Amino acid sequence: MPIIQAEGLTKTYRVFQKKDGLWGAFQGLYRREYKEVKAVDDVSFTIEPGEMVAFLGPNGAGKTTTLKILSGLIYPTAGKAEVLGFTPWQRLDAYRRRFALVMGQKNQLWWDLPASDSFQLHREIYSIPEAQFNQTLTELTELLGVEKLTRQAVRELSLGERMKMELIAALLHQPQLLLLDEPTIGLDVVAQVAIQKCLRDYHSSRGVTMLLTSHYMRDIEALCSRVLVITHGKLVYDGPLQGITERFGNDKVVKLRFAETAPEDSELTIYGEVTRREGPSVDLKVSRHEVARMLGSVLDNYAVDDVSVVDPPLEQVIARVFEEGKAAHDAV
Amino acid sequence: MTQFNPAFGFEPVAPSRGLIGTVRKYLKILRASLVERMTYRLDFILGTLFRFLPILTTILLWRAIYVGASGTDKPASSLNGFSYNEMIAYLLLTNISRMFSSMPGLAGGIARDIREGTIKRYLIQPIDMIGYLLSYRIAHKLAYIVGAAIPYGILFWLCRDYFDYFPDATTFAAFLLSCVLAFLVGFFFETCVGMVGFWFGEVTSLLYIVMTLNFFISGHMLPLDLLPHPWVDILKALPFQYMAYFPAVVFQGKVQGWHLVVGLLAEFAWAIFFIVLARYLFARGLKRYSAFGG
């Protein structure tokens, strides 16, 4: 049975259109104009227990709104969702004990108290048995290397350390589902990797289901085998990360190293677009179907030392997907 | 205890430990709040000490008023049933009432949580926001009352000559009860004001109006009996008097017998009224929040 089952989720916001200037503000006092904005538009997907799934999309695509619906903070304008067998926005305690949401930095911890006090509070709020609590806490602090920091006031911790504490707080009650909104935003690479490692280790040892949003491809490459791509509220892709390239990347990159000086750009443009040139090495962007024919022709005409054909970088493909999504959205 | 969960069939739900578990949960919040309060020791001490300065100026002001009313250089014997001594005792006592009923930062904090979205932590965790805030506030009040006991003791000892009358045990018990109820009225009234934030986002101006009005209509500034009819009757029908006036006059023995019983019952009824209203506004507000914001 799936952990998350979302069917036709739609969320429409009514946004107040503020006019410019003082006169505009004055007009806003007695007559307000609203614009309907579809943050999430007919999104359906299912997630099975133990999966680690990433939500990928540009800012304002509807990732966070979807997470908010799934965690019960808001209810959808249309559509159904069942999470762990519950309807999230009924906010039953039985549901709230079984999942965790990490959103932003200043959420679950008491700013002025050491994290350990907040953890104790969580123990009571979630009624976690003492032995289980101590075991989980030791495991998590070791995993994240923050054993020495739990007695320090949270406000004195660095951003990365705070995020680690947030993560510990979220995992203490051993949720079956973990929803993470930008867990590594604003963190340096070391802290990012530490958070990724913790999530990966925790996932492999506990089999917890995770759904996370991130801007960082690195997070997603490191963690998730499945990706949901969402742009302008619409789900445009659901599948493995590598599949994105096959689905949306119509081009291949052909890397050539010529035996002598590489030919001029003008000679090569008949084969494809030159994207990089470095001494005898040249990268050409070639349509997927043209690769074989193009290679034959190049090898016939030039002395070539080395050839390789690769997919374009994932970031580029995804950026293209986002842009196409925007174009399609603007055209409507 | 088992509970049916469609996803996992019947399974034991360890967490729910019934009433005792719930009480323990909120006691824990209380403890954490107390610890937090103690972190800011200097703020705590200064806050306690400087609360006495206004009392001193008020005493001097009323002395001048009574002297002015007598036309001599001695204070007048009585104004609307309040002797000079009773007046000063009354003003000192309203500080005790306010110690229970004032809720600094409560309404503003709720509105800020709504506006900035930090309210979500109460929505995703198995915890009730109002219960949480109540535990937190009780902790702060306990810390404050314990911390202020000695300075207040000294102040009242210094001003002992103004107290011509000390209540008997029954009256004193009624006074304590009225203070506890004053806490509930104050807490749930301000909670209601804070909940307005679900509709207006910013409640600072509303709060300012309420606070300023409350200073007057609760009897914090002067006893309500000094006001002309029909104002005194109107204000005595409103809930605000329970946040300052009522506990003070109970202590002074000005309300006795059936009047005392009826007064306490009315105070209790207002507490219930605000509890219900706060719950209603919270439920309605959350509906709105879930539809528009989040």
Q: Which residue has the higher pLDDT, A328 or B28?
A: B28
Pick from B28, B120, B127: CB nearest A73: B120
Identify the residue whose tokens are 């443009």: A269
Amino acid at B170: T
pLDDT digits (tens, 9 = 90+) for B156-168: 888 888 887 788 9
The answer, yes or no, to whether residue B1 has pLDDT greater than 50, is no
Question: Which of A12-16, A178-182, B261-265 is modeled with the greatest confidence?
Answer: B261-265
Which of B146-152's residues contact partners 24+ apart within 8 Å by CB, and which partners? B147/B44, B147/B45, B147/B48, B148/B48, B148/B51, B148/B99, B151/B48, B151/B49, B151/B52, B152/B95, B152/B96
Pick from A74, A84, A101: CB nearest B290: A74
Helices (H), B71-168: 84-101, 106-116, 120-124, 129-158
DSSP for A65-122?
A: HHHHHHTTSS--SEEEEEETTB-GGG--HHHHTTEEEEESSSSSS-TTSBHHHHHHHH
Whole-number Å distance between alpha carbons of B73 and B134: 49
Cβ contact A205:A174 at 8 Å = no
3-state secondary structure of A256: strand
Q: Give A45's strand partners.
A: A6
Give the residue on A whose Cα is nearest the Cα of B15: A127
Pick from A68, A101, A125: CB nearest B126: A125
pLDDT average, residue stretch A74-90? 91
Q: Which residue has the higher pLDDT, B109 or B33?
A: B109
Distance from CA of A84 to the nearest CA of B (A): 6
- Residue A311 has a pLDDT of 79
pLDDT average, residue stretch A60-67? 87
Pick from A91, A106, A110: CB nearest B123: A91
pLDDT digits (tens, 9 = 90+) for B78-109: 887 888 888 889 988 998 999 899 998 899 99
CA B203 vs. chain centroid, Å, equals: 19
Q: Is B149 on the interface with A (CB under 8 A)?
A: no
Chain B residues near residue A100 by CB distance under 8 angstroms: 124
Give the residue on B whose Cα is nearest the Cα of A93: B126
- Decide if B126 and A73 are in contact by the 8 Å CB cutoff: no
Chain A residues near residue B14 by CB distance under 8 angstroms: 127, 129
Domain topology for A4-98+175-245: Rossmann fold (3.40.50)
Whole-number Å distance between alpha carbons of A245 and A227: 12
Among residues of chain B, what percentage have pLDDT more than 90?
35
Residue limits of CATH 3.40.50.300 in chain A: 4-98+175-245
CATH 2.60.120 matches A250-310: no
pLDDT average, residue stretch B47-59? 74
Chain B residues near residue A14 by CB distance under 8 angstroms: 292
- Residue B38 has a pLDDT of 67
Residue limits of CATH 3.30.70 in chain A: 250-310
Q: Give A255's strand partners.
A: A283, A308
3-state secondary structure of B5: strand
What count of CB pairs under 8 Å joins A to B?
A: 93
- Decide if A127 and B16 are in contact by the 8 Å CB cutoff: yes
Q: Is B212 on the interface with A (CB under 8 A)?
A: no
- Residue B39 has a pLDDT of 66
Whole-number Å distance between alpha carbons of B29 and B132: 7
Most B CBs within 10 Å, among A125, A156, A172, to test the B interface? A125
pLDDT digits (tens, 9 = 90+) for A119-168: 988 888 888 999 999 999 999 999 888 988 988 888 898 888 999 999 99
- Residue B293 has a pLDDT of 62
* pLDDT, chain B, mean: 84
Among residues of chain A, what percentage have pLDDT more than 90?
25
Nearest to B103 by CA among B129, B136, B131: B136
Cα within 13 Å of Cα(B252), Cβ side: 26
The answer, yes or no, to whether residue A291 has pLDDT greater than 50, is yes
pLDDT interval class at A228 (50, 70, 90)? very high
- Residue B44 has a pLDDT of 66
